[in-house]
Amino acid sequence: MSSLEIIIFIPFLAALAIWLGAPARLTAVVASTVNLLWVIVLAVRFPAFKSATDLAFVNKHVVLDNPAIAFAVGADGVSMIMALLTVLVTFAAIWQIVDKPSMYHISSLLISGGALGAFLCTDLFFIYAFHEVALIPTFLMIAIHGRAEKEQRLAVAWKTTIYLGAGSLVLLAGLVWAVIEFSGGGKLTFDLVALRAQAASSPLPAAAQAPLFFLLLVGFGTLVSLFPFHSWAAPAYATAPTPVAMLHSGVLKKFGLYGLFRIALPLLPSGAQVPWVQQALLLMLLGNILVVGLVTLHQKRLDDMLANSSVMHMGYLFLGLAAGTEIAVKGSMLLMFAHGVSIALLFAICGRMRNQLGTLEMAKLGGIGSHAPFLTVVFAFGAFASIGLPGLANFAGEVMIFMGAFANGNSSSTLIPAQGLTALHWTVILALWGVVISAVYMLRGYRAIFQGTPQTGLFMSDPASGQWLPLVLLAAVLLAVGCFPSLLLDLIQAPLVPGAIP
């Protein structure tokens, strides 16, 4: 049995134990702590263990012969980063004080286990299945414990279900197409490693890659709230109970990006560069950055603002995909991690504010910095990270994405053609304006909530010392990765873009 299998099953077993009557909080905390420490140990040992194919901790149980399906696990650098993100956010989410411990903890653990399974499996069938497993508690928690009137939260849950369900079906069609296309003539296989090898040795012509890539883009993209398939996301996060909002926006949503970067890109390396796909992608990601950015600017409540900002920031990750250079793709991996940590931190604080203050309407708040200096500092960490302040993790990822759009490394030539800037470059410039937009809404929010004179009748206190730990941990991770991006970059030394110079 591989370590990875144990890591995947610990959350499921803990959820089962809680369902059978084990003390909820204790079980959940122990399980998430064990997983956190274990994954950190694995990440440290990863460079020593990885094989020539860049996979470590591999194991495989065959389920079906034809088509070849196996419960196969194995971690490459990217899966390692995603696993780290998952256990980190799970730890913080479980630590949240909640009113119905068993229900909340079971759902958090199921989401966590599903996400770990999706990130650590190397078989397309199980990757897909684990993600679906993680989605179910997400819907249920929004519907049952959502922070809104019953009618409204049911509507939000349904909308989310329909969007994600439809996205998953499109995705399924795309994956099946990919399996048929890349199984190499013999029997069909869902083994991602074999599919990648086949795509590398006999790639499809670029024009033929385009439609399949686009199908996967729409399927995976819906899961990541790619414009215009995004309108489920903001209400879902604003309504979802805090741990679920943290886990879905921080971790589970990244599954779509993981799929695009680790399934679509290796199988169809030229797909995103075919002009019509690229143009569509650039337009859609500008929709995320500019349209949703302006919508975020218009929000009056903190939770709506954070939810929309999370949709907006996905645009930068799609920009990394559109640029498609080694620098940009590795930057995207950093940003995926950084965004997950920062948005989870912000939602955690937002949840606490909702419980204590009863309102998140920014016009009614003010001066919290005077009462709750600790929360103000950690919120500032999250807010400044999410607007790309250097020294915090998000900047390192964003700047690499931007740079990757302009040059493909020291050795090769410039990506700026003689006749002028390309559409990609103009998109980067508009995306940079999006960085200004995010600073405007984040600082407006910070100004309205934390600065100014304290409002009478509203009191917000710092959490008791035991509640500090997850917030401090997330903030410290943002700082550590922001100052030492090599902590994560060293895990992904192998090229992620097929055909790139190693």
Could you say whether residue 451 binds another protein (CB under 8 A)?
Answer: yes
> Which positions from 373 through 392 interact with another protein, judged by CB under 8 A?
377, 384, 389-391
Could you say whether residue 283 binds another protein (CB under 8 A)?
Answer: no
- Is 188 or 200 the residue whose CB approaches another protein more closely? 188
Could you say whether residue 465 binds another protein (CB under 8 A)?
Answer: no
Binds another protein by CB under 8 A, chosen from 7, 83, 109, 179: 179
> Which positions from 117 through 136 interact with another protein, judged by CB under 8 A?
125, 128-129, 132, 135-136
Binds another protein by CB under 8 A, chosen from 363, 423, 493, 499: 493
Could you say whether residue 496 binds another protein (CB under 8 A)?
Answer: no
DSSP string, 194-239: HHHHHHHHSPPPHHHHHHHHHHHHHHHHHHTT-TTS-TTHHHHHHH
- Is 6 or 291 the residue whose CB approaches another protein more closely? 291
> Which positions from 180 through 199 interact with another protein, judged by CB under 8 A?
180, 183, 186-188, 190
Contact 422/374 with Cβ under 8 angstroms? no
Of the candidate spans 12-20, 149-157, 213-221, 236-244, the one that interacts with another protein by CB under 8 A turns out to be 149-157
Contact 300/242 with Cβ under 8 angstroms? no
- Is 363 or 432 the residue whose CB approaches another protein more closely? 432
- Is 59 or 370 the residue whose CB approaches another protein more closely? 370
Q: CA-CA distances (angstroms) from residue 34 to 7, 37, 41, 48, 125?
A: 9, 5, 11, 22, 27
Beta carbon of residue 298, minimum distance to another protein (angstroms, whole number): 4
**Site pattern 397..416 for another protein (x: CB under 8 A):** --xx-xx-xxx-xxxxxxxx
Contact 178/128 with Cβ under 8 angstroms? no
Return all residues near 151 (Cβ < 8 A) that are at least 6 apart.
none
Beta carbon of residue 428, minimum distance to another protein (angstroms, whole number): 7
> Which positions from 10 through 39 interact with another protein, judged by CB under 8 A?
none
Binds another protein by CB under 8 A, chosen from 49, 276, 433, 459: 433
Binds another protein by CB under 8 A, chosen from 75, 327, 335, 372: 327
Compute the distance between CA of residue 440 and CA of residue 452 in angstroms, rounded to an integer: 17
Beta carbon of residue 420, minimum distance to another protein (angstroms, whole number): 8
Which of 334, 187, 206 has the alpha carbon at shortest distance from 267?
A: 206
Which of 390, 400, 393 has the alpha carbon at shortest distance from 331?
A: 400
Compute the distance between CA of residue 325 and CA of residue 412 in angstroms, rounded to an integer: 11
> Which positions from 290 through 309 interact with another protein, judged by CB under 8 A?
291-292, 294-295, 297-298
Could you say whether residue 236 binds another protein (CB under 8 A)?
Answer: no
- Proportion of the chain in helix, strand, coil states, percent, rounded to 5: 75, 5, 20
**Site pattern 47..76 for another protein (x: CB under 8 A):** -----------------x-xx-x-------
Of the candidate spans 1-9, 140-148, 246-254, 312-320, the one that interacts with another protein by CB under 8 A turns out to be 140-148
Compute the distance between CA of residue 421 and CA of residue 427 in angstroms, rounded to an integer: 10
Compute the distance between CA of residue 439 and CA of residue 22 in angstroms, rounded to an integer: 45
Compute the distance between CA of residue 418 and CA of residue 333 in angstroms, rounded to an integer: 31
Question: CA-based Rg of the chain, rounded to a whole angstrom?
Answer: 22
Beta carbon of residue 71, minimum distance to another protein (angstroms, whole number): 14
Q: CA-CA distances (angstroms) from residue 82 to 6, 78, 235, 257, 288?
A: 16, 6, 25, 11, 23
